[in-house]
Structure 1
Amino acid sequence: MASELLEIHPQELKFTFELKKQSSCLIQLTNKTDQYVAFKVKTTSPKKYCVRPNTGIVKPNSTSDFTVTMQAQRVAPPDLMCKDKFLIQSTVVPLGTAEEDITSDMFSKEGSKYIEEKKLKVFLTSPTHSPVLAPINGELKQDSGHETSPPKDGALTGVENIPPPRKVAEDVTGFETTKETVELRTTKDVQEFEASKEDTIELKTADFVQLSPTKDVEELKPAKTMVESKLVDDFEELKSKLSFLDSKLNEAEVSIMKLMEERSIANREKEKLKRELEMLKRKSDARTIQVGFPFLYVCMVALISLAVGYFSHP
């Protein structure tokens, strides 16, 4: 065909990848033709994504959209590279076709029917903030800039901030944010404690687990930024949908005004025809009266005829 059936925006699917969190992407389809177009969405990983709706009808010179949701993943792909792809098929359907009438046979290439296909690639992006933990090769590794374990030469310099082996897990759970995002090297700490046990160093675990308020605030700032960006995106999406609904409402109001004008015109024509019918009826009644003879005139003619006949035959 000379022109494409549907324009797709955007031309690729971008998901913000975070472990054990869902991510969504909105795709908009625009039909600039004068025909009804049906579409169907396919993917190479159907268990990984959820598409709502995966089929639909786009009316002439209008738009429609669908949402693709990536399910929560437990393992991050290497370097956030993704080979998943989506296929959007579209074809022209008869006027008045409903969404429930769409079948897989409509998108079959066996006949001479034109089927337009467009492929979309999937791209994964990291969150806008810089988290303390970043996925590396499918596993969570602690960033070097946020290391919380004591220095290796603590026992040699006489620092008294080495935790005891039996209370390492208890002390750490007092300040760790999530159990799955912090990697503790307890075995190494136990070995260092055993090596320094003979020196009878007094341990102060409270100093080890104490965290500065400034670091807590710095860790909360990225989360706040992410929430604000998500709220802004949701607001923009709602704003676009609201503008679309307003345009539809304006179209409906224009259609209602046109129907009311047509109704008033029809009523005026009806009244005009009614008046013309009454005039024709009056004219027909007048003609009936003029064509007929008066009853008295008929009686007089009959009597005169009888008298003439009686006197003419004695």
Structure 2
Amino acid sequence: MSDSELLQIEPLELQFPFELKKQISCSMQLTNKSENHVAFKVKTTNPKKYCVRPNTGVVMPNSSCDVIVTMQAQKEAPPDMQCRDKFLLQSAVVNSSIASKDITPEMFNKDSRNQVEEYKLRVAYVPPPQPPSPVREGSEEGSSPKASVSENGTVNQASDLNKMSKGLPEANGITSEVNALISKMREEKQSAIQQNNSLRQELELVRRQGQSSTAGVPTIFVITAGLIGIALGYFLNGILISFKDNINT
């Protein structure tokens, strides 16, 4: 900040985040802490490269004015990223009736009766701001859910919790259906085991009696039915174990 009597300038160095083929702007603030009306005019050593808005104006007593300096897009970077361009800010005390359109170059002549001051501002190129690192979505296994951040910087943890709570009824419904299916398969397995036991008892009875048939049924049919029942039991048992493994996974 300058220590002048007429205008305080912030900053005294114009810094441009340099990027090729991109128009870049920076600003400076002129503050008038006096009781006088102060006119100003901004000049540069390279007028084709920069655009200043406003380049002239009047700062009222105890007020401020922002000046925007825009650098045109550059096709190539300067050597060593050094800039030799400079700006000159002229200020002068004027009558309260003077408006911006009434400002003339003669008002800033040091030979005039006006109180005139001049300030030189340097230009510097600085690295462009780095883009923010991407936010990883979701949460790692075993860790608590993390709050997501929206574009305007607000935390959306409450929204995420609402989505999770809405999904709970559906998950509970699926769990109930799975439990019912498991119970049904257990009942079918138990029934198959009972049938196997019954067939085994009949088969053992046939063997003891040494008869060729039992109650009009051929022995080979009884043996075949027993084998089918045993195979059916093992098959249902395998399905139940596989289904449990899929549920746990």
TM-score, structure 1 normalization: 0.41
| d(CA) in 2 for partners of 1:44, 1:14 | 16
Aligned pairs (5 A) from 1:74-223? 74-129=75-130
- The 1:53/1:17 distance shift into structure 2, 3 A limit, reads same
- The 1:89/1:3 distance shift into structure 2, 3 A limit, reads closer
- Compare the two structures and name the one with the higher strand fraction: 2
| d(CA) in 2 for partners of 1:111, 1:40 | 16
2:21 corresponds to 1:20: yes
1:71 Cα deviation after fit: 0.3
Whichever residue aligns with residue 58 of structure 1, its letter is V
Whichever residue aligns with residue 82 of structure 2, its letter is M
| d(CA) in 1 for partners of 2:86, 2:133 | 30
| d(CA) in 2 for partners of 1:15, 1:24 | 7
TM-score, structure 2 normalization: 0.51
Structure with more relative contact order (C-alpha pairs < 8 Å, separation 6 or more): 2
Asked whether the 8 Å contact 2:41–2:91 carries over to 1, the reply is yes
- Matched with 2:69 is 68
- Matched with 2:198 is none
1:113 Cα deviation after fit: 3.0
1:4 Cα deviation after fit: 1.1
Asked whether the 8 Å contact 2:39–2:56 carries over to 1, the reply is yes
| d(CA) in 2 for partners of 1:223, 1:115 | 49
| d(CA) in 2 for partners of 1:35, 1:41 | 19
| d(CA) in 1 for partners of 2:57, 2:124 | 25
Aligned partner of residue 122 in structure 1, secondary structure: strand
Aligned partner of residue 50 in structure 1, secondary structure: strand
Whichever residue aligns with residue 48 of structure 1, its letter is K
| d(CA) in 2 for partners of 1:22, 1:33 | 35
- CA deviations 1:210-242 (Å, max 9, x no partner) are xxxxxxxxxxx66989xxxxx99xxxxxxxxxx
Whichever residue aligns with residue 33 of structure 2, its letter is K
- The 1:3/1:120 distance shift into structure 2, 3 A limit, reads closer
Aligned partner of residue 106 in structure 2, secondary structure: helix
| d(CA) in 2 for partners of 1:94, 1:127 | 43
- The 1:98/1:21 distance shift into structure 2, 3 A limit, reads same
- The 1:224/1:17 distance shift into structure 2, 3 A limit, reads farther
Whichever residue aligns with residue 10 of structure 2, its letter is H
1:126 Cα deviation after fit: 1.6
| d(CA) in 2 for partners of 1:107, 1:51 | 18
| d(CA) in 1 for partners of 2:81, 2:74 | 12
Give the paired residue count. 135
- Matched with 1:48 is 49
- CA deviations 1:189-212 (Å, max 9, x no partner) are xxxxxxxxxxxxxxxxxxxxxxxx
| d(CA) in 1 for partners of 2:6, 2:119 | 11
- Stretches of structure 2 that go unaligned for 5 or more consecutive residues are 136-150, 153-249
1:31 Cα deviation after fit: 0.3
Asked whether the 8 Å contact 2:25–2:71 carries over to 1, the reply is yes
- CA deviations 1:248-303 (Å, max 9, x no partner) are xxxxxxxxxxxxxxxxxxxxxxxxxxxxxxxxxxxxxxxxxxxxxxxxxxxxxxxx
Amino-acid identity (%): 59
Aligned pairs (5 A) from 1:261-300? none
Aligned partner of residue 107 in structure 2, secondary structure: helix
| d(CA) in 2 for partners of 1:50, 1:43 | 9
Aligned partner of residue 26 in structure 1, secondary structure: strand
| d(CA) in 1 for partners of 2:37, 2:58 | 7
- CA deviations 1:103-150 (Å, max 9, x no partner) are 111112233432100110000012123xxxxxxxxxxxxxxxxxxxxx
| d(CA) in 2 for partners of 1:222, 1:114 | 48
Aligned partner of residue 48 in structure 2, secondary structure: coil
Aligned partner of residue 101 in structure 2, secondary structure: helix
